Structure formats: C-alpha cells, structure tokens
Structure 1
C-alpha cells in the first residue's frame, strides 16, 4: 500500500510539474519572402523590455548576421547593458538566419573581380537594404538608426558592406573578420575605394582575438580613421564577440551615456538631452536611473522639476510616465496625497496602460483610504504588465504590491 501511495504521489507531482511549466522566450521567429534572394528568409526578433509599455518610443536596431548562432548571447548582452545597466539605450535586435553553413558563407562572400570562391554578398546586402530594413520599419517601432554586425565570415560581409555602402548603416561592427578570404581580395577593394573616393566616411569597429592569419592589420593600413580597431588578447576567435559588442556599443552611444548618474540643474539636463537628440538625429530612452537620481537631487526645487517635466513631455514623452511617478512619490513623502492623485490621474489619461503609473496610483489610493480603487488599480497594473510582456521581475514587483495591499 505504501509503495502504491508513493508511486501515485510521484505521478501526480510529475503531472503537476508539467502543467505549470512555462517557456521562457527571449524573442520571436518570423519569415519574409525575398524577391532578391528568391527565397523565404527566417528572422529572429528581440524587443526590449519597455517595447509594449512605451507607445511613444522608437528604438535603434542592431542587425546581426548568422542570427540562429548568435542571437541568444547577443540579446542577453544587450538586455544587460541597456535595460539593466543603462550603459546603452534599449534597442531592437534582428537576427538574420544563416540557413546553414554553405548558404551563410555564400551570402557573406563578395563578388570581387579576380577573387576566387566568390559569393552573392551584393545580393544579400541589397536584400537587407531594399527588403529587410523596410520590413522592420513597417512592422516595428524602429528608429531611423541602425547598426550592422557580423563575426568571422560575417565580419567580412560587414567590412565589404561598409566599403560599398558606407551610409546604409550608421555603424558597422566587424568581429574578428575573415579578411584573409581569397588571398586578401578585400584589400584590393579597399585600395580602389579609398583611391577613388578621398572623402570616404563611415564608422566601423573592427576587433581581433588572440589569433593570427586574419589579415586585419594589413587591411587597416588601407583605410582611414573611420575604422576603429581593438584587439582582445585574452579571447579566442569564438569568445571575442561579447567584449567586442560591449566596446563598440559603448563607444557608439558615448554621447547618450551621462558622465555622472544625475544632473544638478534643469539647464544641464536639458542641454545634455538636446545634445543627444542632435548627435543621433533621433531620441532614445532617457535612463530611469538618471531620471531617478536627478529627481532626488532636485526634488526640493519645484521650479527645476517643473522645467524638466515640461522638457521631457515635449521632447522625450516616453519617459514622462516614469518621471511623473517620481514626482508623485515625492508628494506621498510629504503627505500631499491629493496632489499625487491628481498628477497620476492626469498622466493616466495620456498613458492609460502604464503599469508604473497604475501601481503608484494604487499606493496613493491606499493612503487616501480608497481601498477598492487601490485594489482595482494594482490589478489593472498587473494585467497591463502581462499584456505588455513585461519582464517577470517587473510583474513580481506588482504582485508583491498587491499582496502588501491586502495585508
């Protein structure tokens, strides 16, 4: 009997475990039809944590070659460096499927006169230009700011793309590029381009691991200062991608990143983010950390906070809901509950699905002893967060707030 009971219990536990198991996803897979390549081309799409909650925000796009191979580690790195660490802005990542080694290598090899083992890189680049990027801009909240990255033979493709169409992407990242290909044929192309076009300009980041024979140094002799180089001597060919992305993306977004975690005046805040907008010719998200520390520094200066609030509302509206929750939190601290309620209620009219605003309004309701409203707002916040595919840690904060409300 005991044995039967034990087996039954184990079976029930196994069934229970299976029922509650949920997939953890970091992106989605879609496919587009290419008339240029005459095939279906799979894509992997990563959307940042704030994508569905910030209706006004557009995001830079990082396109990576051999997406099936590189997508998981790159997107994990992007989320760490953007949403969590706030070293770079949040971005969309598009992984272009390699469709197998032979197809991928063919797609990456240029057709250079006199070269052996040529491929169809020109057609692949035309596909990216004429079909892929328009598709991404039509179907996602993509800013007109894009980066192309590739590793090894993909790095060769990136270098060739930067040479023949330097303005197609804002930046290029070539990770340990295979510039040895076809007896260094890419060097001939570089020589010809720089000889014919003395005003050639592009922004290319080239890396190398502790390796020899890639012919990177000899290639760079034929370029200009638009090609930045860094060697990671402690990495091998397969591990050099992660430090390369960190180096290149931090350099690309150096102007966006603040030197200090806060601003001590509205003037310095506004000056910096006007500079950012001018430099990138678009607006990226203002880090929540910068908003939080700046508000804390200036919260006793109402006029300064008001100027920042007005600027954010006009120039960076996607950051307004969070900034208003900071102002409301300050009202709560000084028991100005009605002012907090009014501010958050007005904010909800413009951003009705902001779970951050809904959570803060629930806190205000509780202080005003409006418990039914507090419960409604926190439940709406949880529902909105799930609908907006917020990260689980964000949902956990809301669930904890609901539990504390009930206690």
Structure 2
C-alpha cells in the first residue's frame, strides 16, 4: 500500500532540514569565528580580505603597563588552554600575564594551508617531492603574504592600541609550526620567542627542514639579537613528524648560533592534537627564563 505524503508535510520536513542545517552552520561558525575575548576585524591589503583576530588581555589588565605579546595561529584551537595556563601562571606569581592574540583561519573558505605553508612547499600536504610537470598545477603556500599581514598590519594595530614591551612570541602548531620556522628564518627580528609545536617540517620531502638547515648554515649572522626557539613533538605522533623533529634538532646542533637559544621536548605518548595542550606551560616557563636572563644581562 502506497503512503501518501501531503505537500504540507513535505514542505515542513524540508523546512526542518533547512533549519537544522542552518543551526549546525551557525554553531560551527560561532565555535570557529567567535572567541571568549575581544574580537576585531582587520581589512588586510596584504591578503586582500577581511581577517578576524581574537585578543585576550590579562586579568586585571592595566593600560598604563607594558605587557609581553604572544601571537598564535589557528584561532580557537587550544586557546582555552592558553588562557588557563596564563591565568594559572599569573596567580602563581610568575609574571603579570601577556596579551595573547590568536588569528583564526577563514570560515567560508580554506585558508589554513594557504596561509601557513611556506611558499617553497605545496599547499596540499605531500611527503614526496613534486614532479616538475606539476609545478603549475599545484599551488604553493602563501606564508609570505600571511607574514606580511602580521608584520605590516597586525603588529602596527596592536602597537597603536596596546602598550607592549620587548617580549614578543610567535606560536604555531603543525602547519602553524612550519610557519613559525619560516618566520624565524626569514624575519627573525620580528619576534624574540618562537614556539613550534609539532611543526609539519616534512612537507615536500622535508623541504622545511632543508630550508631551515640551510639558513642555520649560511645565514646565522641574520639572527642579530638574542632569540628563543622552543620545539616540541608528541612521542606517539607519525614517524615522519618525529623524523622531521629529530632532523631539526640535528641541524640546530650542527650549526649553533650564540644569539639563538633553543629547547626541545618530546611529550611521551602524546598524539598529534594532544601535543600542543601539553606544550604551552613548558614553553612559557622556558621562555620566561630566557627573558629574565636578558634582563639580568642589562
């Protein structure tokens, strides 16, 4: 026996599906593009688009005081952990906190790899070197443009609206970790602290490792001021991630620089997405010791 469905019921079902889909999109948008802190939008000429930025001020923020600045990628990812860690360290008397700025990826289009992958590597993750005939078919990363956005647009905005001291950190995870390394070997003067959590340095047959290693060998004098680098990886991560991590450490050992202080940590049993959660507190403690050593020297 055939079941008859009236147009009225069919329309209601369709409307219910549409409303459910819109609700799901709204929740995802909110979780991705709205923070628990201060959200601003910058009209970026470097990227030719509007970019959202989350700004977390320290508890009991005093506009007359100068604060350290931390810029991280990936928006709300691990942002609550950063907030808890900074709050806990302030309560423990370990400094007055920092201004934490987090840049979310665009919501309506895929921009993460575009922004975070260095311009000498493919946007699409691949372990093998790219065949020559694919050079024009697969776009490279555009981390150079994203870095220009940070240098020429975001930093001036922050300097104009907040009082900052000379402690400045760039932090990133996975592709964001490779962006941190890219920034260090192209614009080391922008920050004096670099946190690379599980850096995806294995792109295109370890291209990030090779470029970073070449920089350490031939451009060491480019690091003209004391700079801190923190590398970390999870012990349970993909073998390629561990190989890249060990290769980065080897390159740093082979080509030491008096102005570059670096620490590394392997978090036992940590999977890829768990590693940044286990890395924030240690990175901040080690960087604080580095910053305090500079103050003592002066």
Matches within 5 A, 1:287-326: none
| CA distance in 2: counterparts of 1:59 and 1:254, whole angstroms | 16
Given that 1:194 and 1:200 are in contact with CA atoms closer than 8 Å, whether structure 2 keeps it comes out as: no
| CA distance in 2: counterparts of 1:98 and 1:66, whole angstroms | 6
State the TM-score, normalized to the length of structure 1.
0.54
| CA distance in 1: counterparts of 2:291 and 2:193, whole angstroms | 15
Q: Which runs of 5+ in 1 are unaligned?
A: 1-24, 258-274, 282-407
Q: Which runs of 5+ in 2 are unaligned?
A: 1-34, 123-128, 131-138
1:221 to 247, 250, 255: 250
More displaced stretch, 222-231 vs 42-51: 222-231
2:153 to 113, 131, 141: 131
How big is the alpha-carbon RMSD for the aligned residues of Structure 1 and Structure 2? 2.4
Q: Are 1:99 and 2:106 counterparts? A: yes
Secondary structure of 1:221's counterpart equals helix
2:80 to 72, 75, 93: 72
- Give the equivalent residue in structure 1 for 2:287: 252
1:234 to 247, 264, 269: 269
More helix, by proportion: 1
Distance 1:197 1:256, change over 3 A: closer
- Give the equivalent residue in structure 2 for 1:112: 120
Given that 2:228 and 2:290 are in contact with CA atoms closer than 8 Å, whether structure 1 keeps it comes out as: no
Matches within 5 A, 1:136-175: 136-175=158-197
- Count residues with an aligned counterpart: 236
Secondary structure of 2:111's counterpart equals helix
Distance 1:113 1:244, change over 3 A: closer
State the TM-score, normalized to the length of structure 2.
0.72
Given that 2:151 and 2:190 are in contact with CA atoms closer than 8 Å, whether structure 1 keeps it comes out as: yes
1:41 to 35, 39, 51: 51
Distance 1:79 1:152, change over 3 A: same
| CA distance in 1: counterparts of 2:207 and 2:117, whole angstroms | 10
Given that 1:65 and 1:149 are in contact with CA atoms closer than 8 Å, whether structure 2 keeps it comes out as: yes
Which structure exhibits the higher relative contact order, with contacts defined as CA atoms closer than 8 Å and separated by 6 or more residues?
2
Given that 1:88 and 1:249 are in contact with CA atoms closer than 8 Å, whether structure 2 keeps it comes out as: no
Distance apart, 1:170 and its partner CA: 1.0
